[in-house]
Structure 1
Amino acid sequence: MIVYHGSIKKLDYLSKETVVQQLPNDIDTIGIWFTSDIKSAKPFAIGTETVIEKSKTEFWDDDQPKVVQYERMVRGFIYRVYIDEPNLKEYESYDLFMSERDKYCDYFTTRKKIPSWVDRATLLNKEEANEKFQQKLIKQGFEGFVIQKTNLHNLVSDLYCIFSEDALFIADVLSVDDIETN
């Protein structure tokens, strides 16, 4: 199976330590996320990175340059990844996936007695909830899951989450700029 991963960083391999993902609803640490098509992965390869450097125009009283911090736009890479037919749990919708994950989540809100992800409440135990959800699926024999027909950045794609980087093989690395010219 071929899937796609977008990143602002150039990576030699995909692992939980190297992959930084910005996903809604605090789901980013469940596993490594992929899309079923290249266009849906592209928005994840465009972002900003924090740059800290000595200023060329601002100086302290002793003529030493000040250190400045700013955000720089980054146009990264799309990884075409081969996965050898993993055993995936299938969710027919994002709502069904989130409802199952919510069993492990503790939320804070002032509005409802028992909040959920739908209420946009603050998740208090992201790492713990994601790990417990992942461990439940692993105990059931799954290596990850797929959320079918997910709306991402105004595009519809299947969204894959794989728990172990051992099953992943990067088949190709494309820059976002190369994709736009094709």
Structure 2
Amino acid sequence: MIAYFGTMNKIEDFTSEEKVQNVNNIIGTIGFWLTSDIHSAKRYAIGTETIFQKSETEFWEDGKPKVIQVDKLITGFIYKIFIDDPNLKIYDSNTMDSYDLFMNDRDKYCEYFHARKRNFTWKDEATLLNMEEANEKFRNSLIRQGYEGFVIQNCKLPNGVTDLYCLFSIKSPLISDIIPVETL
């Protein structure tokens, strides 16, 4: 399988849990997110990092610059990788959005809080109370079924349609290219 992995930092070892991707927090902790399209992977390699720096406009009474918090734009890298074909659960539908199928499947493990109604789902924009736990239970359920991840086929992203992969681990990928995002 050929896939593209967008990350904000260079990665030395894919076996580490330390991956920095710009993925929606609600689903980001499920696994490594990859795409079948290089341009779709770009969104996972661009984000912000909070840094502290001396202010050029704000000063203390003694004239020393204040230290302020600033969000710095990070443009990372896209890895083109080859992976042995993993056993993936496939989310695909002709009648509804494939992403909806995935989120509905994951919702079984979610606990929401909202003041207006009962039996919330991810579409209600309610507060998810157990993100880490829900993602872990969802991932473990798929692992017990023999899956190494899943694919959301024909997933609609802001910049197009792609197959979106989530792998629970990436074992020994063959990296064929590391592309800085600013060169795309």
| Matching residue within 152, 158, 163 for 1:147 | 152
Q: Secondary structure at the match of 2:44?
A: helix
Q: Secondary structure at the match of 2:62?
A: coil
- 1:27-176 aligned at under 5 Å gives the runs 27-92=27-92, 93-176=98-181
Query: Percent identity between the aligned chains?
Result: 56
Partner Cα separation in structure 1 for residue 114 and residue 174 of structure 2: 42
Q: Secondary structure at the match of 1:54?
A: strand
Q: Deviations over 1:114-135 (max 9, x none)?
A: 0001111111000000000100
> Under a length normalisation based on structure 1, what TM-score does the superposition of the two structures give?
0.89
Partner Cα separation in structure 2 for residue 112 and residue 20 of structure 1: 35
Letter in structure 2 aligned against 1:120: E
Unaligned runs of 5+ in 2: 93-97
Q: Secondary structure at the match of 1:27?
A: helix
Paired residue total: 179
**What is the deviation of 1:146?**
0.5
Aligned-residue RMSD, C-alpha: 1.8
**What is the deviation of 1:36?**
0.7
Partner residue, 2:17 = 17
Partner residue, 2:26 = 26
**What is the deviation of 1:167?**
4.5
Structure 1 pair 16–125 and aligned structure 2 pair: CA distance change class (3 A): farther
